[in-house]
Amino acid sequence: MIEEVSNYLNQIRHDFTKAALDEDSVKETPLEQYAAWFEEAVGSQVLDPKAMVVSTVDKEGKPSSRVVYSRGLKKNSILFYTNYLSKKGHDLEANNYACINIFWAELERQVRFEGRVFRVSEEESDAYFRSRPRDSQIGAWASEQSSEIPNREILKERVKLFEAKFENQDVPRPPHWGGYYIEVSRAEFWQGRPARLHDRVVYELDENKWKLTRLAP
Ligand SMILES: Cc1cc2nc3c(=O)[nH]c(=O)nc-3n(C[C@H](O)[C@H](O)[C@H](O)COP(=O)(O)O)c2cc1C
C-alpha cells in the first residue's frame, strides 16, 4: 500500500494555469489582499475558505500545526478562537510568534502570514462566544482541549454535566476559552503558474509601511 501510494505520488503532475499575481496590482496591505482573495474563494465554491493552518513553536523550539477557522479581520490582524489551555495555547504562552498557512487549491493560491499573537479582549471573546450555537458553548466547557481522555463517553458525561449546570440560563464563556489575533508583520501571496514559474509577492512591514518584494518560485 505504501509503495503503491509512493509510486502514485511520483507520477501525478499538476500544472497551475488559472491566474497571475503582479506586485503592481496587489492591494496596499496584506489584510486587504487576503480579503479580496477570500471573497474570490467564497465565489469559487472553495470548500472551506476560512480554514487555515496555524503553526506554533513550544518552549523547546518544536513546531506544531493545526487547522483553525479564521473568525475575523482587523486592519493588520487575523483572528481565531480556541481554548487557551490547549497545546497551541501553551505554545503561545511560551512563544507568541506564530504563522498561518492557507491553501486554496481550487484557485491555485497559497497565503502565508507571520506575526506576534495576542489575546483578544475579554469583551470581544464574550461577544463572539454569545454568537455561537448553544451546543458549541457547552462543548467549550465539556472539552479540555488537547488533554488526554480515557474514552469518548467521558465527553458525553461532561456535556450532560454542563447542560445541567447551565439549564435555563445563558452559557457563560469559560475563562480559558477565547480569541487570539495574529498581528501580521510579514505576508506572502502565492499564485501557481505554468512550468513551476509561480508568482510570489511578499509584504513586509518596514517603519509602519508595507514594502513589497517578489520572490523566485
Ligand atoms: C476545518 C477545521 C476547523 C477547525 N477550527 C478550529 C478552531 O477554530 N479552533 C480550534 O481551537 N480548533 C479548531 N479545529 C481543531 C484543531 O485543528 C485542533 O485539533 C485543536 O484546536 C487542538 O489543537 P492543539 O492540540 O494543537 O492545540 C479545527 C479543525 C478543522 C479540521
Type of residue found at 205 = L
Ligand 1 atom with minimal separation from the 82 CA: 11
Please return the burial class of 92, using the count of CB atoms within 10 Å of its CB with bins 0-12, 13-18 and 19+.
Answer: buried
Place of cell 509584504: 203
Query: Residue 14: in which H helix or E strand, if any?
Result: none
Place of cell 461532561: 158
The pLDDT value recorded for residue 14 is 87
Ligand 1 test: best mutation among 55, 65, 69, 80, most atoms within 8 Å of CB?
69
Q: Find the angle CA(162)-CA(164)-CA(165) to the nearest 5 degrees.
A: 60
Ligand 1 atom with minimal separation from the 86 CA: 27
For the chain, domain boundaries: 15-133+175-214
Ligand 1 atom with minimal separation from the 64 CA: 26
Specify the 3-state DSSP secondary structure of 29: coil
The Å distance, Cα 145 to ligand 1 centre, comes to 9
Ligand 1 atom with minimal separation from the 71 CA: 8
What one-character-per-residue DSSP string does 39-93 give?
HHHHHTT-S-TTEEEEEEE-TTS-EEEEEEE--EE-SSEEEEEEETTSHHHHHHH
Nearest protein Cα to ligand 1, atom 7 = 68
Is 196 annotated as catalytic?
yes
The pLDDT value recorded for residue 183 is 98
The Å distance, Cα 180 to ligand 1 centre, comes to 13
Residues with CB under 6 A from ligand 1: 48, 51, 64, 66-69, 80-83, 86-88, 145-146
Catalytic residue selected from 13, 66, 196, 200: 196
Nearest protein Cα to ligand 1, atom 6 = 68
List the chain pLDDT tens, one digit each, 217 residues.
999 999 999 898 889 999 999 999 999 999 999 999 999 999 999 999 999 999 999 999 999 999 999 999 999 999 999 999 999 999 999 999 999 999 999 999 999 999 999 999 999 999 999 999 999 999 999 999 999 999 999 999 999 999 999 999 999 999 999 999 999 999 999 999 999 999 999 999 999 999 999 999 9
The pLDDT value recorded for residue 13 is 87
Contacts of 19 (CB under 8 A, 6+ apart): 107, 108, 109, 191
What one-character-per-residue DSSP string does 111-176 give?
EEEEEEEEEPPHHHHHHHHHHS-HHHHHHHHH--TTS--S-SHHHHHHHHHHHHHTTTSPPPPPTT
pTM for the model? 0.95
Ligand 1 test: best mutation among 67, 87, 117, most atoms within 8 Å of CB?
67
Residue in 20, 5, 7, 43 with CA at minimum distance from that of residue 190: 20
Residue in 179, 61, 197, 84 with CA at minimum distance from that of residue 128: 179
Domain 15-133+175-214 top-level CATH class: mainly beta
Specify the 3-state DSSP secondary structure of 200: strand
